[in-house]
Amino acid sequence: MDPAAGHSLLLADHTTIHLGGPAKNLVWAQDAAELVDVVSRADADGTPVLVLGGGSNLVVADAGFDGLVVQVAHRGVAFEQAGQQMVMHAAAGAIWDDVVTSSLARGLAGLECLSGIPGLAGATPIQNVGAYGTEISQLVTSVPVFDRVERRHVTLSGVDCQFGYRTSALKGASRYLVLGVDIALTPSETSQPVRYQQLADALGVELGGRAAALDVRAAVLGLRAAKGMLIDPGDPDSVSVGSFFTNPILPDAEVPAGAPQWPTTDGLVKTSAAWLIEQAGFVRGFGDGRVGLSNKHTLALVNRGGATTAELVAFAVHIRDGVRSRFGVTLDVEPALVGVAL
Ligand SMILES: Cc1cc2nc3c(=O)[nH]c(=O)nc-3n(C[C@H](O)[C@H](O)[C@H](O)COP(=O)(O)OP(=O)(O)OC[C@H]3O[C@@H](n4cnc5c(N)ncnc54)[C@H](O)[C@@H]3O)c2cc1C
C-alpha cells in the first residue's frame, strides 16, 4: 500500500491527534525484511527517515516531514514454550490491543492491564508503555532490532533496553529499528496481582489481589473510556496523544506540598503531573481555542477540530510554563516531537 494506491501523504491522517503536515514520501513496509531494506537504502543516500507506528505518541510539525516516512505494517504473533512460561513473539506492526487479546484468548496472563493502549507492538518498548500498575518492561524478554549504525540485526535484552519510567535506550534515538517484541506470559486465566488502587476498587479486590484476567481487561477498558484514554471516534476527548506530560520524578524536598507522592526505588519521589496542572489552575476542559485540555483528564491535550501543531505547541508551552511558575517544576513532554520543540 502506498500513496499511489490512494493513501494520504498528510501525517495528520496517520496520527491520533490528527496533526502534522505532509511527508515527502510515505511507504508501508509489509515485512521486517522490507522495513530493513527501505530504511537502509534511505540511510545510505542520506534521506531522513521517520518510522511510523500507529501515530499515537507522535506530534509532527505543520510543515510535515521532509524525508521518508515508513509505516511499519508487518503483523502477527507466535508463541513459544519457555519452561513454565510462554514467550509471545509479536511483530512490530501488530496492533497492540490485538496482541493483548490474542494472549488472553490463549489463556495467558500478563498483559491484561495494558489493554486498550493504542498503537503498534513495536513502539511498546520504546517508551516502556505502562498503565494500571504494569509496564511492558516487566514482561519483555528481548527486542529484536536492526542497528542502523552498525547495519546488522541485534537482539536487545531487557537490560540493554535500559527501561525507565516512560523511557528506554530506544526513545529519542533513531539508531534501532524495532522489528518485534518478545514477551513472557504466564499460562493462567487469572490475572497477575492488581497493583493499582483504582483498578482494585473497580474489580472489588484488595490491592495485590487477583481476578479473572478477562475481567481485569474489561475493568481497564472501562476506566480508560471514562478518562478519554481509549481511541473512540465518538469521543472527541480521545483526539490526543494520551498523556502529554510525564509525571515528574523529583528529590523529596522539591515535591510541592500536598501533591501525591510515590517513592521510587532510587530514593526520589514521583508526583502527579495531572495534580500539578489542575492546581496551577488548568482544569479539565480548559482552553477556548481549537486545542484544549480533555474534559475527562487534565494530562491529555486535545485537538478539538481543525487545530494546527503550532497551536498545540503554544498551548502546551502555556500549561508547562503555568505549572513552572506556580510550583517551580518543569514538566517533560511524553510524545515524540518531529520538527517541533517546546
Ligand atoms: C488515547 C491514548 C491513550 C494512551 N495511553 C497510554 C498509556 O496508557 N500508556 C502509555 O505508555 N502510552 C499511552 N499512549 C501513548 C501511545 O499509545 C504509546 O506510546 C504507543 O506505544 C505508541 O505506539 P505507536 O505505534 O502509535 O507509536 P508512534 O506514535 O507511531 O511512534 C512513537 C515513536 O516510536 C517510534 N517508533 C514507532 N515504531 C517504531 C519501530 N518499529 N522502530 C523504531 N521506532 C519506532 C516513532 O518513530 C516515534 O518516535 C496513549 C495514546 C493515546 C492516543
From the CB of residue 4, how many other CB atoms can be counted at a distance below 10 Å?
6
Q: Which residues contact 121 (CB under 8 A, 6 or more apart)?
A: 90, 91, 92, 93, 94, 95, 96, 99, 180, 181
Sequence-separated contacts (24+) of 42-49 with Cβ below 8 Å: 42/67, 42/68, 42/70, 43/148, 49/174
Confidence of residue 1 (pLDDT cuts 50, 70, 90): very low
31 pLDDT more than 50: yes
Confidence of residue 265 (pLDDT cuts 50, 70, 90): confident
Q: Is the CB of 144 under 6 A from ligand 1?
A: no
Confidence of residue 6 (pLDDT cuts 50, 70, 90): low
Q: Is the CB of 242 under 6 A from ligand 1?
A: yes
Residue 314 grid cell: 503554544
Q: How far apart are CA 165 and CA 149, in angstroms?
A: 26
Q: How far apart are CA 210 and CA 200, in angstroms?
A: 9
CA-nearest residue, atom 52 of ligand 1: 242
Averaged confidence pLDDT in the chain: 95
| Centre of ligand 1 from the C-alpha of residue 119, in Å | 5
Q: Is the CB of 36 under 6 A from ligand 1?
A: no
Q: Which residues contact 42 (CB under 8 A, 6 or more apart)?
A: 48, 49, 67, 68, 70
Q: Is the CB of 299 under 6 A from ligand 1?
A: no
Q: How far apart are CA 251 and CA 238, in angstroms?
A: 33
| Centre of ligand 1 from the C-alpha of residue 223, in Å | 20
CA-CA-CA-CA torsion for 305, 309, 310, 312, nearest 10 degrees?
70
Which of 19, 112, 117 for mutating ligand 1's site (highest number of atoms within 8 Å of CB)? 117
DSSP single-letter state for residue 332:
P
In the beta sheet, which residues pair with residue 146?
153, 177
Least confident window among 6-10, 242-246, 310-314, 336-340: 6-10
CB 80 within 8 A of CB 68: no
Instruction: For 181-233, give the DSSP string.
Output: EEEEEEE-SBPPPP--HHHHHHHT--TT---BHHHHHHHHHHHHHHTT-S--T
pLDDT digits (tens, 9 = 90+) for 53-111: 999 999 999 999 999 999 998 899 999 999 999 999 999 999 999 999 999 999 999 99
CA distance from start to end of the chain: 34
**Nearest atom (ligand 1) to Cα of 336:** 49
CB 52 within 8 A of CB 71: yes
Section 172-190 average pLDDT: 95
Q: Is the CB of 100 under 6 A from ligand 1?
A: no
Catalytic residues: 166, 243, 334
**Nearest atom (ligand 1) to Cα of 179:** 41
2 pLDDT more than 70: no
**Nearest atom (ligand 1) to Cα of 16:** 53
Supply the pLDDT for residue 172: 86
Pairing, β 152-157 against β 140-147: antiparallel
Q: How far apart are CA 167 and CA 139, in angstroms?
A: 15
| Centre of ligand 1 from the C-alpha of residue 157, in Å | 20
CA-nearest residue, atom 14 of ligand 1: 242
Section 115-141 average pLDDT: 97
Burial 202-230 (b: 16+ CB within 10 A, else e): bbebeeeebbbbbbbbbbbeebbeebbbb
| Centre of ligand 1 from the C-alpha of residue 55, in Å | 7
Separation in Å, CA 267 to CA 4, 287, 292:
54, 36, 35
**Nearest atom (ligand 1) to Cα of 72:** 41
Which of 57, 97, 114 for mutating ligand 1's site (highest number of atoms within 8 Å of CB)? 57
pLDDT digits (tens, 9 = 90+) for 203-228: 999 999 999 999 999 999 999 999 99
CB 68 within 8 A of CB 40: no
Q: How far apart are CA 340 and CA 211, in angstroms?
A: 44
Q: Is the CB of 223 under 6 A from ligand 1?
A: no
Q: How many CA atoms lie within 13 A of 325 on its CB side?
A: 6
